[in-house]
Amino acid sequence: MNAFQFYNPTSIVFGEGTADRVGELTARYGKNVLFVYGSGSIKKTGLHARTLSRLAEAGITVHELPNIEPNPRLTTVNKGIALCREHGIDFILAVGGGSVIDASKAIAAGTLYEGDVWDFYSRKAVVQQALPIGTILTLAATGSEMNGGTVVTNWEENQKQSFVSPHTYPVFSILDPTLTYTVPRNHTVYGSVDIMSHVFEQYFSLTPNTPLQERFCESILQTVIENVEIAIAKPDDAAARANLMWCGTMALNGGQISVGMENDWSSHGIEHEVSAIYDIPHGAGLAVLFPNWMKYVYKQRVDRFVQFAQRVWGISGEGMSDDEIALAGIQATRDFFTRIGAESRLADFGIGEENLDRMAEEAVKYGNIGSFKPLGKDDVHAILTLSL
Ligand code: NZQ
Ligand code: ZN
C-alpha cells in the first residue's frame, strides 16, 4: 500500500423524500441560484416543479439553464458561465445525471476564471476557485455527485476532455433512489457498466498489499451484479435502485475504495476518444472496450485476474490453469454485459476502421496512458481493433 491522503468534502443526503430538503440545503450556501438540468426528464417526472417550489419556499431567486446534453458540450457550458456573470449567481444547483453535474462543475469553475474554461480541460490552466455547487442526482452512474471530476466535449474539435479539482466537489448531493425509477433500461445498463468500470480502473492495479481496498472493489462489483437485473425487470424496485445508487457513489468518490493504490484509467481515456467523435453513451463504449482491455493486459498480473474470476464471478477454477481462470473471468464479464443488454462491438454503433488511427493518436496525446500496462498508440490501436 502506498502513502496517501484522503479527503472528501461532499455531504451526502440519502433516502426517499430527501429531494424536498433542497431549499433548506441550498439556502446555506446561496440566495441567487443557477438551476441546471437536462433535456426534459425532470419536467416529465415532476422533479422540476418540485425543486422550484422548495427553492421558492426557502426565499431563493432562481435562474434556469435547461438542455444540458448527454456528453455535455462546451458551448452550453459557456452559456451557463454567461448567465452566472450576468445575474451575479452565487450557487449552482445541478439536477440530473453525470452530464448535468459535470457541466455545472465547468460553469462553477469557468465563472470565476478570466480565461477560457477549456483551458482547464486542455491542461493550460489549473482551477484555483469555483462557485459552490449542489446536486440532486437522478441516475446512478458516474459518481460525479461525490467527486471533483468533470468531462466536457468540445464538439467543434471532437475533443472530450476531463479535469479533477478539489474546488469542484459538490458541497452537498441529494441521493433519492426513487428518482431513478424512471431511468430507461438502456441508461440503467450503461450506468451500471460505468460503475463497474470505475471499480475495474482501480482494482486492476500493480500496487501490492491492498487487501481491504480489493475487497471494497469486489463488494461493489458483486452488489451491482446482484441488482442490475432486478432494476431492469422492475424499474421501481426500491432496494435495487438504492443499492445501485450507493454503489455508483462509492465507486468513484475521490478514490476512497482504492486509497494507496495506483489506478489505471486507460479504458476511460480510450472511451472518451470514441465518444468525442461518435457521441455514444459513455457506459455503452466502456461495455465494448473494457473486456478487450482486460484480454490485452491480463498477463501483467494474472493473479489479480484469477482473484477477480474466483471472488467476483465464483469461478472455482478446478482443473484449470491460472491463464484459463483469468480468461474465464474476462469472458464472464463480457457475457454479463451482453446479458443485461449492452452492445459488445463498435460496429453495433456503426463504427468502423475509419477513425481508429485518429482515436489512438488522440488517446496518447499527453503521453502513454494507464499504469497496469502503460499503453502507447499501437496498444490503443490494438484494443480498438479488438473492439470493432
Ligand atoms: O437529459 P435528461 O432529460 O435528464 O435525460 C437523461 C439523459 O438522456 C436521462 N436521465 C437521467 N436521469 C433520468 C433520466 N431519464 C429518466 N429518468 C431519470 N431519472 O439519462 C440520459 C443520460 O444522462 P447522462 O447524465 O448523460 O448520463 P451519465 O450520468 O451516465 O453521465 C454521462 C457523462 O458523465 C461523464 C461521461 O463521460 C458522460 O459525459 N463521466 C463523468 C465522470 C465524473 N464526473 O466523475 C466520470 C465518468 O467516468 C464519466 O466519464
Ligand atoms: Zn466512467
What pLDDT is recorded for position 38?
A: 98
364: domain CATH number is 1.20.1090.10
Quick one: 286 and 325 in the same domain? yes
Residue nearest to atom 50 of ligand 1 (CA): 151
Ligand with the closest atom to the CA of 189: 1
Residue nearest to atom 10 of ligand 1 (CA): 183
Around Cβ 285, how many Cβ atoms within 10 Å?
29
Q: Is the CB of 148 under 6 A from ligand 1?
A: no
Residue 82 confidence class, pLDDT cut points 50, 70, 90: very high
Task: State pLDDT tens for residues 18-31.
Answer: 999 999 999 999 99
Q: For residue 383, which amino acid is it?
A: I
- Mean pLDDT of the region 298-314: 98
Last residue of a domain, one of 122, 155, 179: 179
118: domain CATH number is 3.40.50.1970
Last residue of a domain, one of 149, 179, 209: 179
Q: Residue-wise over 38-61: b if at least 16 C-beta within 10 A, else e?
A: beebbeeeebbebbbebbeebebe
Q: Which residues surround ligand 2, an ion (CB under 5 A)?
A: 194
| Dist. CA 251–CA 257, nearest whole Å | 7
Residue 345 confidence class, pLDDT cut points 50, 70, 90: very high
What pLDDT is recorded for position 316?
A: 94
What's the mean per-residue pLDDT of the chain? Answer: 98
C-alpha 59 to ligand 2 mean position (Å): 36
Ligand with the closest atom to the CA of 99: 1
Q: Is the CB of 144 under 6 A from ligand 1?
A: yes
CB 259 within 8 A of CB 199: no
What pLDDT is recorded for position 347?
A: 98
Q: Is the CB of 179 under 6 A from ligand 1?
A: yes
Cα 115 to the center of its chain, rounded Å: 27
Last residue of a domain, one of 144, 179, 214: 179
Residue 90 confidence class, pLDDT cut points 50, 70, 90: very high
- Residue 3 resides in a domain: no
What pLDDT is recorded for position 145?
A: 98
What pLDDT is recorded for position 304?
A: 98
Q: Is the CB of 141 under 6 A from ligand 1?
A: yes
- Cα end-to-end distance, the chain, whole Å: 37
Residue with cell 445575474: 87
Residue 138 confidence class, pLDDT cut points 50, 70, 90: very high
Residue nearest to atom 39 of ligand 1 (CA): 71
- Mean pLDDT of the region 153-179: 97
Determine the structural domain holding residue 29 and report its residue range.
11-179
Asked if the ipTM is above 0.85, the reply is yes
C-alpha 67 to ligand 2 mean position (Å): 21
- Split into its structural domains, the chain has a count of 2
Take residue 327 and report the three cell numbers written for it: 480468461
Quick one: 222 and 325 in the same domain? yes
C-alpha 15 to ligand 1 mean position (Å): 20
Q: Is the CB of 269 under 6 A from ligand 1?
A: no
Please give the share of the chain, as a percent, with pLDDT higher than 70. 100
Quick one: 172 and 189 in the same domain? no
User: What residues have CB less than 8 Å from 116, skipping those under 6 apart?
Assistant: none
